[in-house]
Every structure is written in C-alpha cells, then in structure tokens.
Structure 1
Amino acid sequence: MVLDKKTWDSSDALLAKFDANHDGLIDYDEFRSMCVELFGPDEVERHEYRVRDIFDILDLDEDGYLNREEWERCYNEWTLVVVNPVNVLIVVDVQNDFIDGSLALRHCGKGQDGIEVIEPINRLLAEVKWHKVVYSLDWHPDTHIGFYENLGLRELHSDSKISKEEAKLFDTVVFRDPYLEQRLWPKHCVIDSWGAQLHKDLVIAPGSGKVRKGQHPDMEAYSVFSDNNCADSRELLNILEEVGATDLYVCGLAYDVCVKATCLDGLRLGYRLAVVEDCCRGVNPVDVEDTRRLIEDGGGLLTDSQAVPRFVTGDTRSLVMALQLAKSMAKKHGAVVSRAE
C-alpha cells in the first residue's frame, strides 16, 4: 500500500488531508477515511467495528472528535507505528529434541511433525528484511522439575490429584516445594546436549539473538518472556527494547505450549503480535485450537508465511494489530478500554 510519505511524516499535513470540513477536529467519518487509506477499503469493510473501537479509544474525552491533543497522541503513538513498524521474528524452540529426539512431536501420536516448520521459517528469513530475529531454546539442567524421570526427586503436594505411583508421561501433578502445578515431560533439551541444539537445517540469521529458557531446576519456563510464575525475564525484553520493536511475529514449537505462552505474554506486554501458523506445529491439535482462540481473544493476529512479507513491507496492514496497539495506548494512559474489549 503506497502512501505519500510527506503527508504521513507530518501531523499537520495529515490533519489537513483528512479534516474534510476544516474545523481542526477529526470526527469518525474523517478517521475512517484515513483508515481506508492506511488499511485499504476491504480491510476497513471487514473490520468496521474495529475502526470504531480504535476511534473510541483515541477519543479520550468521548465527545465524538479527536481534538488537537488527542490527534497528536493518535499521530505519534498510533499512526506512526502503523506506518513504520519495527518488526521482529521470534523463532521458538526449533530444537532437535522436538523434531527427532526425546520429545519429537511426531511421536506424540497426534499427527504433528516439527520438521515441517523449517522450510517456511527459512523462507521468511530469506524473503523478509527483519529488524531483528530472535531464537529461543529450551535449556534445562539434568535435574529439571518438568522431567518425568525426575519425579522421585521431589515430594508432591496434597493438592495433586495424581500420586507419584499413578503418574504417567504428560500427566499434570502438583509439587510441594516449590508449590508448582507441572506437566510431566520426557527428559529433553538438556543443557549442551545434541537434543538442545537448534536443528541443523534451520537458517541462523546474521546478527540474530538467542534466549535460553528453563535453566532453573525448580521452575518451568514455556514463555520466552517469563517463567511459569509470570516473573518477567529481561533478556528478551532488552533485545526488543534495544531495536524499538513494535511488531512481533512468532513461530516455532510447540504451538500449544511455548509458542502459546510467548504470544500471550507478548500481547500482555503491549506488543502488536501475529502468530505465523504454518510455521508452527503443536503437541495436540485440540489444544492448538484452544491456543488459536486465546491468541485471537488477546488481540493477536493469526496469519501465515505467505502473508507476512506484505505485512512487514507495509503493502498490507492489519486492523487486528492496529486495535491491539490502541488498547495498549489506552492502558498506558490509564484510559477505559472496556468498549473495545
């Protein structure tokens, strides 16, 4: 979608372009006209309610107009991000153990195969100019709490519905110390092992970053952002803040576990986020469907590797991601966002 750069580089020029009645204010119809130019008529027609929700969020005093102060905030914090996003690709846990090793998805009996994500991810790396690429790795000590083989090392809490004697692979138990609800996985991605390495066929982008998670023996870490007690880690956040990331594209393994947790945390933290579905595979298709609903409910976009290059170049823009940005602005400024929830 080609835009007149000079117009979009100035809030005054943009106001002059879309303030049809020259009253110094932007009403909903004028804002909608701007969105048609930003997102295209088809996207606006499909997501008209999202355009209205965005306008209502930006209209802080709820008078039906964007006054000069509201317009400047709209321009600086919303329009400029929509026009000039900073795009980061997060590749989650494309490691040997999830493809050919102890926790290979194809051995989980649900018809998913981790090897299938490598070709479309490599195509994204080749075709798209990313501001940053980040690879995450499960990186567990041998005594990690999530390993079924280590069940005998710790006591279960009385809250656990399953006893040690009854517990099987993939069951969920509750440990006493630390108090933790935990799914039991086969031993995988042990630090410095072959299983913990990124798959040999996965392209590693020059200048990319790596985040190793799950290194604490008594704490699970599905999300690249945080452990399962929701304690934010600074490692990924520092990388994202260094490049000024606005838009995250998430892919990898497993869709219904670590990709899910990473997406939900990214949305919670206010990033515009899309999950690249054909670059993901999961443990259980039923859980994948639940994951898709959770990401959509959280404001995330479900897309595929064919569409992503056009999003990154700005040839296509998403009102789903634009609404998520507006909601993040509202939370930042303490505004009420219930109308758009």
Structure 2
Amino acid sequence: MKAALIVVDMQEDFCPPNGALAVQGARDLAPTINSLLANPGFAVRVASQDYHPPDHISFATNHPAPNNRPFECSITMANPAPGREAETKQQTLWPAHCIQQTPGADIIPEIDVAKIDLFVTKGTHPHVEMYSAFADAFGNQDPAVVSVNEHLQSSLTDRGVTDVFVVGVAGDYCVKHTALDAAKAGFRSHVVQDATECVVPGSGWEETIRELASAGVLIVRSDGPEIASLSGLA
C-alpha cells in the first residue's frame, strides 16, 4: 500500500466569510486537513485548485438574461476533445469564482501548503467544467485537451500510489468526482468524511455517500483505523 492525500479546492472563494461560492464550514476543515497533511504515512500530498479564466462557461455572468440565474439555470457544454464535439452535457451555472490570478483562487492561508508535493490547477479550459482533479466533465484527462497542468492519474501511478484519500470541498461536487475518478482509474479510493463539507448540507452528503458507495469508494474518518494504519507505512 502506498497512499496519496488529495486536498480538493480549499480556496478563498469556496470558504466563508467572503467566498463567492462559499461552502458552509469549509474554512473550519483546515485543522483536520493539516493533521492529515502531517501524517507521515502519505507518500504524496496533492492540492487541487479551480483556476478559471474570466470567460468560463460555468459563470452565470457570461450568459444572457433571463436564463443566467446561478444555481437555477444551466447551459449546454460540448466535449472539447477533437472528434467528440457532438457529445454534450448540461452544466449548472455558478457565480463567478476562482478566477485566475485573483485572491479568490488562492488556497486559504490556514492550509499548510508547505507540505504539498503537487499542485493541480483545473477548470482552465473556458468551454468545459472540471470538478474532478483527474478529468473534465467528459472524462478527458489529456492536458492538451482540458488545459490542466498535471495528468494526475499518471503522476500518481508513476509514484507507485495504490490508495487515494480525498478531502476538501465540496463533498457533493469536486470531492465526489475526484474520488469517483480515482476509483475509475484503479486506485483504492477513500473520502475522509470529517474533512469535507457539501454545498447542500445533509441531503447533499447523504446522496453523495450512496453514489460513492455504489462505485466502491470507502467513507472513512480522520480518526479511523484506515488513517491510523498509514503511520506504519512511513
């Protein structure tokens, strides 16, 4: 067993009190995440960041009224991969957030970034959403297609990683999709329940647990045996 910790999108725009798309309780996760980052059993520590261009397709302000209400309206996205442009998906519109080179895209100072080995900037392609740190909404991983700075699956595989533990925000979006893609890539995938918060508290997490469990993703706790056992791998 060789474990990686993926800290998902612990950024100013996802955290109260001033985040453009703040997740309730997100900033309060920092002590738990830092304790995980300090665990010597993690061979690789990854941090992902939404890093959108100002004209990103998911921003409500980039679409005409009246069908541009954030959280309520959606837009049709086309697959950016060559030859697959006919594939489409509906994308929920969000308030503008985590825009490149703005304070909202920064990882919050409460996170001990000195312990991060690998940073993944995602969502940089203007025409497609990318919740997962592994792939865009259509499953594309090629950096040339999705404009991501790391092919995360290859980076972890090259380091001999077998198990992935996912924390951060939001549990019902980027954390969920990262954990699902980790399982799809062949890693044993875990979500640390007390180190994530959801956009929709309560029901959002309950539905997420069902979806994760059906894909074979394990739900664990930071004080559980799965994390405790990692110390013996150091």
TM-score by shorter chain over 0.5: yes
Q: Which stretch has the larger CA shift, 136-145 or 269-278?
A: 269-278
Whole-angstrom distance in 2 between the partners of 1:196 and 1:207: 17
List runs of 5+ in structure 1 lacking aligned partners: 1-84, 106-111, 153-163, 316-341
What does 1:117-156 align with in structure 2 at a 5 Å threshold? 117-152=29-64
8 Å CA contact 1:251–1:259 kept in 2: the answer is: yes
* Corresponding residue for residue 191 of structure 2: 275
Residue identity opposite 2:37 in structure 1: L
Deviation at 1:238, TM superposition (A): 2.6
Structure with higher helix content: 1
Alignment partner of 1:86 is 2:2: yes
Residue identity opposite 2:205 in structure 1: V
Residue-by-residue CA offset, 1:130-187 (whole Å, 9 max, x unaligned): 10000000000000000011113xxxxxxxxxxx524421024232767441111100
Consecutive aligned runs of 4 or more in structure 1 exceeding 3 Å deviation:
176-180
Change (3 A) 1:205 1:86: farther
Whole-angstrom distance in 1 between the partners of 2:129 and 2:136: 6
Root-mean-square deviation (Å): 1.8
What SS does structure 1 have at the residue aligned with 2:6?
strand
8 Å CA contact 2:78–2:128 kept in 1: the answer is: no
Residue identity opposite 1:241 in structure 2: T
Deviation at 1:129, TM superposition (A): 3.0
Deviation at 1:296, TM superposition (A): 1.0
Alignment partner of 1:289 is 2:206: yes
What SS does structure 2 have at the residue aligned with 1:292?
helix
8 Å CA contact 1:172–1:181 kept in 2: the answer is: no
Change (3 A) 1:204 1:217: same
8 Å CA contact 2:97–2:105 kept in 1: the answer is: yes
8 Å CA contact 1:128–1:309 kept in 2: the answer is: no
Change (3 A) 1:172 1:130: same
State the TM-score, normalizing by the size of structure 2: 0.85
What does 1:1-341 align with in structure 2 at a 5 Å threshold? 85-100=1-16, 101-105=19-23, 112-152=24-64, 164-175=65-76, 179-206=88-115, 208-233=117-142, 235-285=151-201, 286-307=203-224, 308-313=226-231
Change (3 A) 1:207 1:195: closer
8 Å CA contact 2:77–2:90 kept in 1: the answer is: no
Change (3 A) 1:119 1:150: same
Residue identity opposite 1:236 in structure 2: L
State the TM-score, normalizing by the size of structure 1: 0.60
Residue identity opposite 1:200 in structure 2: P
8 Å CA contact 1:274–1:302 kept in 2: the answer is: yes
Whole-angstrom distance in 2 between the partners of 1:177 and 1:248: 30
Q: Higher Cα Rg: structure 1 or 2?
A: 1
Q: Using CA pairs below 8 Å that are at least 6 residues apart, which structure has the higher relative contact order? A: 2
Change (3 A) 1:301 1:180: closer
Change (3 A) 1:247 1:168: same
What SS does structure 2 have at the residue aligned with 1:215?
coil
Deviation at 1:284, TM superposition (A): 0.4
Residue identity opposite 2:181 in structure 1: D
What SS does structure 1 have at the residue aligned with 2:49?
strand
Residue-by-residue CA offset, 1:12-38 (whole Å, 9 max, x unaligned): xxxxxxxxxxxxxxxxxxxxxxxxxxx
Deviation at 1:313, TM superposition (A): 3.4
8 Å CA contact 1:134–1:209 kept in 2: the answer is: yes
Structure with higher strand content: 2
8 Å CA contact 1:90–1:251 kept in 2: the answer is: yes
What SS does structure 1 have at the residue aligned with 2:151?
helix
Residue-by-residue CA offset, 1:318-338 (whole Å, 9 max, x unaligned): xxxxxxxxxxxxxxxxxxxxx
Q: Percent identity?
A: 35
How many residue pairs align between the two structures? 214
